[in-house]
Structure 1
Amino acid sequence: MTYDHLDFTLEELQAAMRAAYDDLIAFITTPEFKALHREVLAQPPSERPAFVVSEVVDKDRLRERGIEVPEDILIQTSAFGDRRPTLFAVKKFLPEKFHRAWENVNWTFDNIYPDEEVSRDPQDAWRPPLPVVLQNAIIAEGGDLQSVPTEKGVNFSRFSSMEASADVD
């Protein structure tokens, strides 16, 4: 299948995504990374976000643990609109030719939570994500991410309106 505005096929995109996921899976299933993940989960749930910031997203600390993060893989904290308690994601960008359709693939690591606590309602799932610092503070306090008002989420439209006004000048 081809699309008029893209210079690649669906099959090419799928192959690039599969290759990127294979690289992510190879990285996160190393004995060293699996040991780190077990250590994350050994922390009390409220302390996991701070542990992630101090140990998981710090390349120097990872290196001390024998974990070499490939240059094309990024470990970062993240948040999603569905408000599941995300701890971090391991991300790999696809080759630039695919960015008009799909920019990256990632593997997300969440704090353990009962599945029914995260709404699958489209209105809730597509809310603006909370700023990661706010999300982590709520998790640390044992708060309920689902009860945070939508207006506390990241307002992406504010940024797009800023870009539009900058283009006018």
Structure 2
Amino acid sequence: MTAPKTLAAEVNSALSEVATFVCSPEMRGVIQELYDLAEEERASYVLSVLLNEGELRKRKIIIPSGMVIQRSAFRDNRPTLFCVTKHLPPGLGWEKVTITFDNTSGMPALAYSQFEDQSSTHVLS
């Protein structure tokens, strides 16, 4: 079992890396583009821009090693548009840290039932 201080240090370090990435000027610009759209257009933007390496490159965004941008769906249908995740080293008893961006309408971009029916996971790393 991992010592609590070791786990806390790994989680804090990984979360800091994700926060630094999502708060970078380039990512803040893309996030602003997303939230400037009408709510019904945001899910499409996630697919066409945030999960599109070419579109991210046009906006000077390079996803750091070990991080992924992905769509997520939860059984409780929380209003997630996308998230940025970093997996932790194995053996810590904790898998990953994630910063999630939600739809202000309160509606999920992807309902859990839709996610289960799709063959791809919609991840870009």
Q: What are structure 2's unaligned runs of at least 5 residues?
A: 118-125
**2:98 is matched with which residue?**
106
Q: What amino acid is the match of 1:11?
A: K
After TM superposition, list the pairs within 5 Å mapping 1:17-166 onto structure 2: 17-98=11-92, 101-113=93-105, 129-132=112-115, 154=116
Higher strand share: 2
SS at the partner of 1:53?
A: helix
What percentage of aligned pairs have identical amino acids?
33
CA contact (8 A) 2:21 2:27 kept: yes
Q: What are structure 1's unaligned runs of at least 5 residues?
A: 1-5, 118-127, 133-153, 156-169
Aligned length: 115
User: Which of structure 1's runs of 4+ aligned residues deviate more than 6 A?
Assistant: none
Q: Which has the higher contact order (CA 8 A, sep 6+)?
A: 2
- The separation in 2 between residues aligned to 1:22 and 1:130, in whole angstroms, is 32
- The separation in 1 between residues aligned to 2:72 and 2:49, in whole angstroms, is 15
Q: What is the TM-score normalised by the length of structure 1?
A: 0.63
Q: What is the TM-score normalised by the length of structure 2?
A: 0.83
- The separation in 1 between residues aligned to 2:57 and 2:8, in whole angstroms, is 32
